[in-house]
Amino acid sequence: MKALVYHGPGNKTWEEVPKPTVQADTDAIVRVDAVTICGTDLHILKGDVPEVTPGRILGHEAVGTVESVGSGLKNVRTGDRVLVSCITACGACRFCREGRYGQCLGGGGWILGHLIDGTQAEYVRVPFADTSTYPVPSGASDEEILMLADILPTSYEVGVLNGAVRPGDTVAVVGSGPIGLAAIMGARLYSPSHMVAIDLVDSRLEAAKLFGADVTVNNGREDAVEAVRSLTDGLGADVAIEAVGVPASFELATALVRPGGHVANIGVHGASATLHLEELWTKDVTITTGLVDTCSTPTLLRLVTSHQLDAARFVTHRFGLDEFDAAYDTFSRAGDTGALKVVLTRS
């Protein structure tokens, strides 16, 4: 089969590799029908995730069809159409029993495209398939369900839920890429009084308006802190969500938050950021980090299939499964191309 293989920072190729086989009785082999590229994949290619070693097949999101299953599976069957989650859950360890699947101790967590071969391939082996895949509802499209593999649960859990967004809050989201837009979409479920999108690219701020932002700030030209304080009687945001993953964006989020507020970091950071405790220590600020657990996926599936969330809106560019070079180029130059999410499908 063909797969996208990582060969070190800046180096990837679409090449022939062995087709995966069932290795444990809880495995499923899934034919990949639709796959996307994540900002985390770009971090990997920059060398920000050293655990990803040369020879690894990239990718951790897919919708596909089950081709074969291990003897221990009870719910997943050959021919099933499934969402392959970015997080794998053994279902039995301490953290899985707490619903913290991202911290799985039994061989799961974020492993696809990280510690084992991933989904940017014609086929993928999915460990613990009973607890790591979700049936695709009848009538749902591959594209909209694919958005539930990572960006929607990540933004909802690590941004909105960790940030404790409440009705009437002023919520500021730093970064209007796919994760930031998903955070805006998720936060809107809680009826904030103001939804502020902050970015350096005007086209992304225009997209943020479509996803529910009522205030946009280009922090290359405007003072984002003053803009948020002007909405909040000088206090700052109730919740500041960091959705970029660079030091400046985290430091801006901590400057935006009011006393007693929440800073929820979603971004994948490859470099140290300064925590200004000399300013924060008296402000009763709560700062959260997190890897997505995907415990919200069943809820989000219901919201998407009932059309309460328009997940398909994220998809701006479409490619064939063998067009990864073009898809990565388009996605990595989002400021020029206007890309939010790219989807590659089997012809």
pLDDT, residue 115, reads 98
Whether 290 and 162 have beta carbons less than 8 Å apart is answered as: yes
Low-confidence ranges of the chain (pLDDT < 70): none
pLDDT of 267 = 94
pLDDT at position 85: 97
Q: Which residue has the tokens 């400046």?
A: 248
The residues of the chain that CATH labels 3.40.50.720 are 153-288
In three-state secondary structure terms, 88 is strand
Integer-rounded Cα Rg, in Å, for the chain is 20
Q: Alpha-carbon distance 246 to 243, whole Å?
A: 9
Per residue, the 3-state secondary structure of 103-116, as one string, reads: HCCCCCECCECCCE
What token pair was written down for 20? 């995966």
What pLDDT was estimated at residue 335?
A: 85
Say how far apart CA 82 and CA 191 lie, in whole Å: 32
Q: Thinking of the domain 2-150+293-345, which architecture would CATH place it in?
A: Alpha-Beta Complex (3.90)
CATH 3.90.180.10 residue ranges of the chain are 2-150+293-345
Question: How far apart (Å, rounded) are the C-alpha atoms in residues 6 and 210?
Answer: 35
Instruction: Look up the CATH architecture of domain 153-288.
Output: 3-Layer(aba) Sandwich (3.40)
pLDDT, tens digit (0-9, with 9 covering 90-100), for 44-77: 999 989 999 999 999 999 999 999 999 999 999 9
Q: Residue 321: what pLDDT? A: 97
Token pair in block for residue 47: 């060398």
Closest CA to 249 of 11, 87, 39: 39
CA angle 26, 32, 38 (to 5 degrees): 100
Q: What's the pLDDT tens digit per position in 156-213? A: 999 999 999 999 999 999 999 999 999 999 999 999 999 999 999 999 999 999 999 9
d(CA 273, CA 331): 25
